[in-house]
Amino acid sequence: MGQPVASRGRAATATLWKAMLNKYARAFFTRVLTPFAAFLIRRGVSPDTVTLIGTAGVVAGALVFYPRGEFFWGTVVITLFVFSDLVDGNMARQLGRSSRWGAFLDSTLDRVADGAIFGGFALWYAGQGDNDVLCAVSIFCLASGQVVSYTKARGESIGLPVAVNGLVERAERLVISLVAAGLAGFDTFGVPGIHWLLPIALWIVAVGSLVTLVQRVVTVRREAAEADAAGAQDNGAADGDSPANASHGSEAK
C-alpha cells in the first residue's frame, strides 16, 4: 500500500518549501557574494584555497570558543567562515570550472567542519557544562550527521539514486544548531533562561538525524530491491532470447 494521501501531501509541501527556500536563499547570496568572489579571482585566489580557509575558520571557531561556553562569539566566527562554502562555488562558476576533485574536497571538508561544531558542543558539556547526557547527545549528533551523509554517498556509489529528502539534512542541522548556539550565547550578556535553547536544539537535531537516517536506509533498501529485481528480469529475458534456448526450442517442436 502507498502512503496516505494526507501524508504524501505533507511530505510534498515540506519538500516544496525546502526547495523554494534553497532556491531564493541561494539566489540572494549569489548576488551578494559574486563581487567578492570576482575580487578573489582577480587576486589569484583559487576556489580550493577558499574551501580550505573556510573549513579552518569553522574548526577554529568551534573548537576555540564552544568548549569555553562562548557560544555567541563562536557562532559569529563560524557563520562568517561558513559563507566560504558559497564563495568557492561562485568562484568555480565564474571560472567555468567543475572538477571532481573540487566536489570531493568540498564534501570531505564539510564533514570535518560539521564534526568540529558538534565536537565543540560535546567538549563543553564534558567539561565546564558538566552534563553527561547532553555530551552524549552532541556526540550522537556528530556521528549521525556523518552516517546520514555516508548513506547517500554509498548508495549513489552503487548506482542507486537515493531519491529521498530527509527530515533533517546538513543545512537544517547547521541552521538549527548555530542559531540556537548564537542565541544561547546571550546568556553571558544577562538574558535569562535563553541557555536552554541549545539543549533543545541538540535534541531536535539528534531525533531529526535519526529519522533521516532511517528514511535513507529504507529508501536504499527499496531501491536496491527494485534494481536487483529489474536486473534479474533483464537476465531472464536475455537467457530466453539466447541462441542456445532458441535452438533447444526448435528441437522440442
Q: Which three cell numbers stand for residue 96?
A: 567555468
Q: Which of 110, 109, 114, 131 is nearest to 198 (CA)?
A: 131
Q: Catalytic site residues? A: 110
104 burial (CB, 10 Å; 0-12 / 13-18 / 19+) is exposed
Is residue 171 within 8 Å of residue 148, measured between CB atoms? no
Write the single-letter amino acid at 141. C
Retrieve residue 212's grid coordinates: 533521516
Cell of 249: 526450442
The C-alpha atoms of residue 161 and residue 127 are separated, in whole angstroms, by 42
In residues, how long is the chain?
253
